[in-house]
Amino acid sequence: TALAATCVAAQDYPAQPITIVVPFSAGGPTDTVTRLVAQAMSEDLGQQVVVQNVGGAGGTLGAGQVAAAANDGYTLLLHHIGMSTAPALYQSLPFDPQTDFAPIGLVTNVPMTIVARRDFEPETMADLITHIQENGENITYANAGIGAASQLCGLLLMDALDTRMTEVPYQGTGPAMTDLLGGQIDMMCDQTTNTTSQILAGEIKAYAVTTPERVAALPDVPTAAEGGLENFELAIWHGLYAPAGTDPAIVERLTTSLQAALANETVAQSFADLGTYPVPADQATPDALAQTLAAQTELWAEVIAAAGVSAQ
């Protein structure tokens, strides 16, 4: 019977390699986090866990692809806060983040950094604020498209300073970083998982971190509040999802595997070196992810409406 077949499928799971779709370019922050987690999950599951980059449309292309994929546990999505902002930013999304996925668990909360090409004129956060207010659209600001964390951070920054910059979209902040390093773009706001090593190497300028406290991996970078930008706090939460309707036994196995990966010392150390940390086991659960997604969707709908951003 079909039921017996499902039970067997769950029992034998995983019987083939699993693909985790990252909805941004290779080499960027989501990709970096996912590859670390995928490697550790692969050891736990005794199966290959392959990362596939499907960039475009601020993460909504890759997310839509997983929403439409077979719900057999072999195609998963690792996505961030963009799952909660996209519904407010897009007039018609081809998927519903809250009903088209089976949440597996939260993964990490990544601080952001406000950074610029190394020869960008402003020296401090206070200088940067003045510079943005005086130069507005003459400044180029890289982001990973509408729905990306970098786009959300830019939106909040421009709203806080009541000005516009010229936004330049990429398929991920990996390629945006290449252009920042090359001096083709002025600035961006991106996750520490993509900026820490370049900041420490002095390859780019860092003005602030977006967390209430300084980030241990970047002790010399002030918080936004220290830099004169009050109430500018943003942490990029990430979650792992399967398509809706995935066998609960498979979801449970994936949750256990995610928890094992996050408890892995190599993963924890790599995360710390990148300015972030794995969430505790009680957050790496379907319930915690579902609750975060619901609460954040509500929060960002209000913030985005208040910022006067119209849906695409």
Cβ-based burial of 238 (10 A; exposed 0-12, middle 13-18, buried ≥19): buried
Our CB check for ligand MLT shows the closer of 172 and 243 to be 172
In the bound complex, what is the minimum distance in angstroms from residue 24's beta carbon to ligand MLT? 3
| Contact call for residue 84 and ligand MLT (CB under 6 A) | no
Nearest CA to 10 among 74, 67, 62, 54?
74
In the bound complex, what is the minimum distance in angstroms from residue 165's beta carbon to ligand MLT? 15
Which positions ≥6 away from 2 have C-beta within 8 Å? none
* DSSP 8-state class, residue 223: B
| Contact call for residue 154 and ligand MLT (CB under 6 A) | no
Q: Is the peptide bond before 14 cis (omega within 30 degrees of 0)?
A: yes
In the bound complex, what is the minimum distance in angstroms from residue 193's beta carbon to ligand MLT? 8
Dist CA 32 CA 274 (whole Å): 10
Residues, the chain: 312
Count CA atoms within 13 Å of residue 205 on its CB side.
17
Our CB check for ligand MLT shows the closer of 31 and 186 to be 31
In the bound complex, what is the minimum distance in angstroms from residue 270's beta carbon to ligand MLT? 16
Query: Considering only 92-100, 170-178, 259-267, 288-296, which stretch makes contact with ligand MLT by CB under 6 A?
Result: 170-178
Our CB check for ligand MLT shows the closer of 13 and 170 to be 170
In the bound complex, what is the minimum distance in angstroms from residue 194's beta carbon to ligand MLT? 7
Dist CA 223 CA 208 (whole Å): 5
Dist CA 171 CA 173 (whole Å): 7
| Contact call for residue 283 and ligand MLT (CB under 6 A) | no
The single residue among 173, 196, 259, 292 that binds ligand MLT, judged by CB under 6 A, is 173
The single residue among 14, 18, 30, 207 that binds ligand MLT, judged by CB under 6 A, is 30
Our CB check for ligand MLT shows the closer of 21 and 45 to be 21
| Contact call for residue 167 and ligand MLT (CB under 6 A) | no
Our CB check for ligand MLT shows the closer of 30 and 42 to be 30
Our CB check for ligand MLT shows the closer of 206 and 250 to be 206
The single residue among 60, 84, 113, 150 that binds ligand MLT, judged by CB under 6 A, is 150
Residue by residue, DSSP assigns 85-131 as: HHHHH-SS-SS-TTTSEEEEEEEEEEEEEEEEETT-S--SHHHHHHH
| Contact call for residue 114 and ligand MLT (CB under 6 A) | no
User: Do 247 and 9 touch, CB atoms closer than 8 A?
Assistant: yes
The single residue among 148, 185, 199, 204 that binds ligand MLT, judged by CB under 6 A, is 148
Q: Which two tokens stand for residue 74?
A: 């072999």
**Chain contacts with ligand MLT (rule: CB under 6 A):** 24-25, 28-31, 80, 82, 144, 148-150, 172-174
